[in-house]
Structure formats: structure tokens, C-alpha cells
Amino acid sequence: MAMWRRVASLSPLIRSSSSCKLAFLNQVLTSPASLLPQVAYRLNISELFTTEVNESPLTKKDLFISFVLGGPGSGKGTQCAKIVETFGHVHLSAGELLRRELISNSECAAMILNTIKEGKIVPSEVTVKLIQKEMESIDNHKFLIDGFPRNEENRKAFEKIIRADPDVVLFFDCPEEEMVKRVLNRNEGRVDDNKETVKKRLEVFYASHLPVINYYSQKGKLYKIEAVGTEDEIFERVRPVFAAFEHGPK
């Protein structure tokens, strides 16, 4: 009975088929296997799983994409600001785009807020579409995408929707005690910078980000940066990575 109520309540969600609802539904479908047959009965499955393939203006640009990875408080945002200043890249923070979306009153807002509070990962279609919109609206070809991809699903969704691979993947390697200290000491009014959520974010980091980091390491694209020290000391470890590309073919 409880199961039926849950399935029935998904029905209006399915009919309207907006990307946020579909992304959410996708997540529901990938969790309890027992729900699948009932949900499938009410769905037009092809509609749910077919992603529109439009020619993106991005495919026409000579892109230089860097992904910036690291645990919460590892210094991604701080170092991105320095990279922007020195090398003229555009900084896109996936977390910031999501936080902006959640105060915009969009249909995804509540789902994003709950996910961030739980320290979990927002469905990839939502995040990648926000990144895509931003990339398409900016007249630059060098993008630093911070806090992304957070898991294998993020990575695959980016490849599928943006149809591009990163040129550089930076990984800020920081001891856990240092990350926790930085997050709890910063005071930016974030709903997830508290002891309880940081613990969950760290769990997600170890379980989901590390496979992505290993993937890029195997592809020879990973630049691991020791993330302890002053901001300037750390930047001196980051600088040569981008300096090498300044004089390279791109």
C-alpha cells in the first residue's frame, strides 16, 4: 500500500517531464530495484532516457577545460581565483552554480537544497546543464570547473552532454583534519559548513570522488597538488601546470 502511494505520487512528475524532475526520477529509479516495474508501467521509458542531442555552440569552440577536484576545504575556490588572475581562465564552481539555482526559486530549488544539506551529489543532468548554460554564455574558451566531476555519473554526463574531455585535472590533496578545520573556520553562511554535514561530505568524497581521480590519473591528466601551506606557497605548485600549457599548442 505504501509502495503504491509512492508510485502514484510520481505520476504527475512523469507527465510534466521537465529536466529537473526527470533527473530526480532517474535517481529514484536507480535506488530501490523493487520500485522499477511499477514505475515503468506508468512511464514512457523512451522519453525518460533519451537525452536530446543538440549541436552545442561549445563544440565549435577550441576549448581548454580544467577540472578542479579535492575534498571540502581543500582550497579549490581560493586557488581558482589565483589561476583566473594569472592565466585568464573563467572560473565556474559547480557548488556555486547549484547554490545560485537554489535561491532562484526554480523547480529544482528544494531538491538541490536537500541534497546539499545532506552532503550528497545532485543528479548530474541538473549540474551539467547549469555548467553548459554558463559555458555557452561566456566568451572565453578556457574554463576552470571547480568541484566537478564529483562522481563517475557526473563525469559521464559531462562527456555525453558537453562532448568534451578535460585538458587538465587538478587534485588538491589535503589531510582530513586540515579540511575539517578550514571548513569549520570559514564563515560564509553556507548550510553545509557544519560538523555534521562535513562528515557526510567527506564520506561522499572518499566513496565517489576518488574513483574519478583514479580515472584521470590513469589517463595521465591528473596533477596532484599538495594542499597544505600558505595560499601563495600552494599557488607556486599550481602555476607550472598552467604555465606549461601557455607555451604549448593550445
Residues in contact with ligand C5P by the rule CB under 6 A: 72, 93-95, 98, 115-116, 119-122, 127, 147-148, 150, 154, 192, 201
Give the contacts of 89 (CB within 8 A, at least 6 positions apart).
Answer: 64, 66, 83, 140, 142, 143, 144, 242
Could you tell me the smallest distance in angstroms from the CB atom of residue 98 to Mg ion?
11
CA atoms within 13 A on the CB side of 154: 24
| Dist. CA 56–CA 137, nearest whole Å | 12
- The partner in contact with residue 119, picked from Mg ion, ligand C5P, none with C-beta cut-offs of 5 to 8 angstroms by kind, is ligand C5P
Instruction: State yes or no: residue 71 binds Mg ion (CB under 5 A).
Output: no
| Dist. CA 1–CA 7, nearest whole Å | 10
Phi/psi at 173 (5° precision): -95, 115
Output the residue with the shortest Cβ distance to ligand C5P. Answer: 95
| Dist. CA 56–CA 125, nearest whole Å | 15
Could you tell me the smallest distance in angstroms from the CB atom of residue 172 to Mg ion?
11
- The partner in contact with residue 148, picked from Mg ion, ligand C5P, none with C-beta cut-offs of 5 to 8 angstroms by kind, is ligand C5P
Give the 3-state DSSP-derived string for 167-235, with helices as H, strands as E and coil as C. Answer: CEEEEEECCHHHHHHHHHHCCCCCCCCCHHHHHHHHHHHHHHHHHHHHHHHHCCCEEEEECCCCHHHHH
CB-wise, 70 or 142, nearer to ligand C5P? 70
Interface residue with Mg ion, options 77, 119, 149, 166 (CB under 5 A): 77
Could you tell me the smallest distance in angstroms from the CB atom of residue 97 to ligand C5P?
8
Could you tell me the smallest distance in angstroms from the CB atom of residue 181 to Mg ion?
16
Q: How many residues belong to the site for Mg ion (CB under 5 A)?
A: 1
CB-wise, 72 or 166, nearer to ligand C5P? 72
- The partner in contact with residue 127, picked from Mg ion, ligand C5P, none with C-beta cut-offs of 5 to 8 angstroms by kind, is ligand C5P
CB-wise, 29 or 179, nearer to Mg ion? 179
Q: Write out the residues near Mg ion by the rule CB under 5 A.
A: 77
